[in-house]
Structure 1
Amino acid sequence: MRLLLIAALFPAVVAAQDLPVADAVFAPQDPAEVALGQLLFYDKILSGNRQVACATCHNPVLGTGDGVSLGLGDGASGLGRERRVIADNMPEKRVPRNAPPLFNLGAAQFTRMFYDGRLEADDSRPSGIRSPLEEDMVSGFSSVLAAQAMFPVLSGDEMAGQYSENEISQAVRLGFLSSEGGAWDRITARVTAIPAYSEAFAALKGAEAEIRFTDIANAIAAFTADEWRADSSPFDRYLRDGSAMNDTAMAGMKLFYGRAGCSACHSGQFQTDNNFYAIAMPQIGPGKAAAFESYLRDTGRMRVTGRSEDAYRFRTPSLRNVTQTAPYGHAGAYATLEAVVRHHLDPVAGLRGYDPAQAVFPDLPGAQDFALMADSAEVEAIAAANELSPVALTDDEVADILAFLAALSDPVSINGRLGVPEKVPSGLPVDQLAEIASD
């Protein structure tokens, strides 16, 4: 009866809401560059020890993430929850932040990358991009997405490997990144030494053109933008032509853009304003620290701006295909969508009452995954920074919001358009979906 009443009243209610417009702009992509980017995305040749591909942490069967709270990069094998450490080359620590989904990152509105926004479009910079590399940041990246796609290759915990394990990690250790003979040059040399890659780049750029690291990044970005474009969900159809969603999703939309206040931050067609907020998310794992720092905390946006008011602020995530992208939060603290929605209803209570059993970790001997949550002073500092006021919703209303979030799913993008290649030009093994189908 409740749903029938909502359905009867909804046309007038929807007309009064400030709903977004389906106006996202996507740059056209060259199919040949997209096809090349697909191979590079799944090829472990880009990692220092040839053990990790982009797809290791951003796999389509896991919602373009890795299905765990905090992943294991170099020094482990396998995918998802079944990823296991390599005994004679164990990771030093977990990757400190949850692998973010890749949906719609080719849309023009996505000009900030990473949870703290440390990489963003900036026309005042010679490269057009502000990044942690500062003066070492090179020009030639086609977009912020292209630049973002290649920063993991410089991380020892993710793709480069540790210290002097290989020529890539050695260059990173010595601070040779974008300079001649640096890490990016060495990766480029690896790739272009493979005939299939050098021929594909020659077909794109011309036989005499120099292939640079930025060309590799641009191809991966072209693939990412095309493969995981997600703008054909039931909600998109509702925005475009008024095609009604089911009654529960419609009720959830009313709450989302109304009393629940979700759209204050989750605005626009893809439900993100790309700004930064402190909402008392639990901090698990190793934290985000520089090599010379030993703490376990992650202060988020403050690491970029240096402003105390930005402490514990993280970028608003897009909610496209959100039912597929668990775990949730910058550290993957919540294993289910309902759990993270309920955290938003009372963030401080959610933080203080956090149940560590919600975290999903591949095994890493010696990891102190919940040490910070046992530090009452740090937990209270996270709580004090919270900017989100409590909201009272009934269980039925939470269910309605979850139904609306499900209506943000686009099956074509979830499955991907090209899929996983059976093999890549390097000849290195490709992690296939069948290996994690049981997760």
Structure 2
Amino acid sequence: MPTADAQFAQHPLEEIVLGRQLYYDSILSGSRTVSCATCHHPRFATSDGVSLGLGDGGHGLGLARIADPDNPPEQRIPRNAPAMFNLGAREFTRFFHDGRLEADASRPTGLRTPLGADMERGFASALAAQAMFPVLSGDEMAGHYSENDVAQAVRQGVLTGEGGAWSILSQRIEAIPDYRAQFDATIGTRPIRFADIANMIAAFVAFEWRADDSPFDAFLREGVPLPDAAARGMRLFYGDAGCARCHAGQFQTDHGFHAIGMPQIGPGKAARFERHNRDLGRMRVTGRAGDAYRFRTPSLRNIAHTAPYGHAGSHATLEAVLRHHLDPVASLMSYDATQAILPGAAFDDDLAIINDPDEIARIAAANELAPMVLGEREVADLLAFLEALTDARGLHGRLGVPQTVPSGLPVDQ
């Protein structure tokens, strides 16, 4: 059983307010059409409500997001948009489904990132650093090949330093008087660096979506009894069902990586030059064959509201993904892809892996979970406990969505 309290990063209010504006401002995307909130919106419990989203080249939110016929997305975003809850807690040091960005005190920047030695300094935390990598992704925020200055820099591999994609975006913010004045109050009058922008966004995320005031927390802190079904579910979760072997700690995650036979839909996580639709998960980071198909254990806070589930959003309901855990191989082999929630018109690669028996067999062979049997009441009790991990205030955020942002660009409400 976890302890009652966790340590959270604390930030000045002016940083939080500035970060809120930057978070909702599409000025930080190459074509000025996508903000952080496009894929992490409070309307969808800090995700986007779909299995795999549409980034640059899309309009709207959630399942209502459609492709721009004059500039359609090249592909879906390869992985499901994870929720943002409690990322300001100090135990969150690894980010993305494959953990490709993590705190590492042995590195000069204090971070291990895909940029390696090119990573810039000044990021206050791993949370700040991860918040800004989507702007370097053509599918997410940077844009299509050469359609804007950021996209062109990204495609040429000029990401950091003078003339890099981060520098271009920093100069955009610098040129807006309202932003410049707010940065004057937080960093002084020196030029705005991209790390400064990231640090402000991280301050907002840490404040806005802290979620540690659920019925479960009330039980831990004050002994407030859970409803009977949730109490039975908690005993199962931390007992015979074995959920806590991976979903451990204050936020029900061991921050580790596990292969549990999750189906993959969509384009997969491949480099531009690769001609496959596979997603090898953690193996793409470590290069170790034993890490194939392993993905980071998600936190379960507010989990009842963050559907769909899985690294590719393969399961539309919490009950479906819970039942998958009971027998991952059988579930994988019988997976019905019609439950996937995919906005816009179909892409040719939406079902490429699901229809590839050899790849399905490899995913199944990597599975770590042994089958187990639970009765219908036990499944219902576990679902009741997972519902008891909901913090209503954290679910909807504290400051809410701003009506306007300093760039003057539209804000998705």
Q: Sequence identity of aligned pairs in percent?
A: 64
Would you say 1:63 and 2:58 are equivalent positions? no
Would you say 1:333 and 2:296 are equivalent positions? no
Counterpart of 1:134?
116
Contact 1:150 1:217 in 2 (8 A): yes
Q: Which of 273, 284, 288 is the equivalent residue of 2:254?
A: 273
Aligned partner of residue 413 in structure 1, secondary structure: helix
Q: Which amino acid aligns with 2:324?
A: H
| Alpha-carbon shift at residue 365 of structure 1 (Å) | 4.3
Q: State how far apart, in whole Å, the 2-side matches of 1:246 and 1:115 are.
A: 33
Q: Which of 312, 317, 321 is the equivalent residue of 2:298?
A: 317
Would you say 1:178 and 2:157 are equivalent positions? no
Q: Which amino acid aligns with 2:218?
A: R
Q: Which of 262, 265, 270 is the equivalent residue of 2:243?
A: 262
Q: Deviations over 1:382-405 (max 9, x none)?
A: 000000111110111000000000
Would you say 1:79 and 2:54 are equivalent positions? no
Q: Which amino acid aligns with 1:408?
A: L
Aligned partner of residue 153 in structure 1, secondary structure: helix
Where do 1:178-327 residues align within 5 Å?
Answer: 178-206=160-188, 208-327=189-308
Q: State how far apart, in whole Å, the 2-side matches of 1:61 and 1:49 are.
A: 24
Q: State how far apart, in whole Å, the 1-side matches of 2:395 and 2:89 are.
A: 16
Q: State how far apart, in whole Å, the 2-side matches of 1:95 and 1:367 are.
A: 14
Would you say 1:33 and 2:1 are equivalent positions? no
Q: State how far apart, in whole Å, the 1-side matches of 2:70 and 2:104 are.
A: 43
RMSD of aligned alpha carbons: 0.7
Q: Which amino acid aligns with 1:57?
A: C
Q: Deviations over 1:274-327 (max 9, x none)?
A: 000000000110000011111111000000000000000000000000011000
Counterpart of 2:98?
116
Contact 1:68 1:327 in 2 (8 A): yes
| Alpha-carbon shift at residue 192 of structure 1 (Å) | 1.1
| Alpha-carbon shift at residue 368 of structure 1 (Å) | 2.3
Q: Which amino acid aligns with 1:292?
A: F
Q: State how far apart, in whole Å, the 2-side matches of 1:371 and 1:153 are.
A: 27
Counterpart of 2:345?
364
Aligned partner of residue 102 in structure 2, secondary structure: strand
Aligned partner of residue 21 in structure 1, secondary structure: coil
Q: Which amino acid aligns with 1:289?
A: A
| Alpha-carbon shift at residue 241 of structure 1 (Å) | 1.6
Q: Which of 373, 378, 381 is the equivalent residue of 1:392?
A: 373
> Please, which moves more after superposition, 212-221 or 359-368?
359-368
Higher CA-based Rg? 1
| Alpha-carbon shift at residue 162 of structure 1 (Å) | 1.2
Contact 1:122 1:130 in 2 (8 A): yes
Q: Deviations over 1:254-290 (max 9, x none)?
A: 0000010000000001000000000000011000001
| Alpha-carbon shift at residue 174 of structure 1 (Å) | 0.8
Contact 2:171 2:192 in 1 (8 A): no
Q: State how far apart, in whole Å, the 2-side matches of 1:223 and 1:367 are.
A: 38
Counterpart of 1:164?
146
Q: Which amino acid aligns with 2:296?
A: R
Q: State how far apart, in whole Å, the 2-side matches of 1:371 and 1:66 are.
A: 23
Q: State how far apart, in whole Å, the 2-side matches of 1:280 and 1:422 are.
A: 42
Contact 1:75 1:91 in 2 (8 A): yes
Structure 1 length as normaliser, TM-score?
A: 0.93
Q: Deviations over 1:166-208 (max 9, x none)?
A: 00001111111112111000000011111110000001112x3
Aligned partner of residue 87 in structure 1, secondary structure: coil
Counterpart of 1:143?
125
Q: Which amino acid aligns with 1:323?
A: A
Q: State how far apart, in whole Å, the 1-side matches of 2:348 and 2:60 are.
A: 19
Aligned partner of residue 354 in structure 2, secondary structure: helix
Q: Which amino acid aligns with 2:247?
A: H
Where do 1:374-393 residues align within 5 Å?
Answer: 374-393=355-374
Q: Deviations over 1:208-258 (max 9, x none)?
A: 322100000000000000000011000011111211110000000000000
Q: Which amino acid aligns with 1:303?
A: R
Aligned partner of residue 120 in structure 1, secondary structure: strand
Q: State how far apart, in whole Å, the 1-side matches of 2:236 and 2:346 are.
A: 44
Q: State how far apart, in whole Å, the 1-side matches of 2:214 and 2:291 are.
A: 34
Aligned partner of residue 135 in structure 1, secondary structure: helix
Aligned partner of residue 88 in structure 1, secondary structure: coil
Q: Which of 321, 324, 327 is the equivalent residue of 1:343?
A: 324
Q: Which amino acid aligns with 2:236?
A: L
Q: Which amino acid aligns with 2:101?
A: L
State the aligned residue count.
413
Q: State how far apart, in whole Å, the 1-side matches of 2:375 and 2:115 are.
A: 47
Contact 1:93 1:367 in 2 (8 A): no
Q: State how far apart, in whole Å, the 2-side matches of 1:241 and 1:367 are.
A: 53
Q: State how far apart, in whole Å, the 1-side matches of 2:49 and 2:97 are.
A: 17
Q: State how far apart, in whole Å, the 2-side matches of 1:148 and 1:366 are.
A: 28
| Alpha-carbon shift at residue 364 of structure 1 (Å) | 3.0
Q: State how far apart, in whole Å, the 1-side matches of 2:343 and 2:221 are.
A: 42
> Please, which moves more after superposition, 20-29 or 296-305?
20-29
Structure 2 CA distance for partners of 1:365 and 1:329, relative to 1, 3 Å: closer
Q: Which of 69, 84, 100 is the equivalent residue of 1:102?
A: 84
Contact 2:84 2:205 in 1 (8 A): yes
Counterpart of 1:436?
none
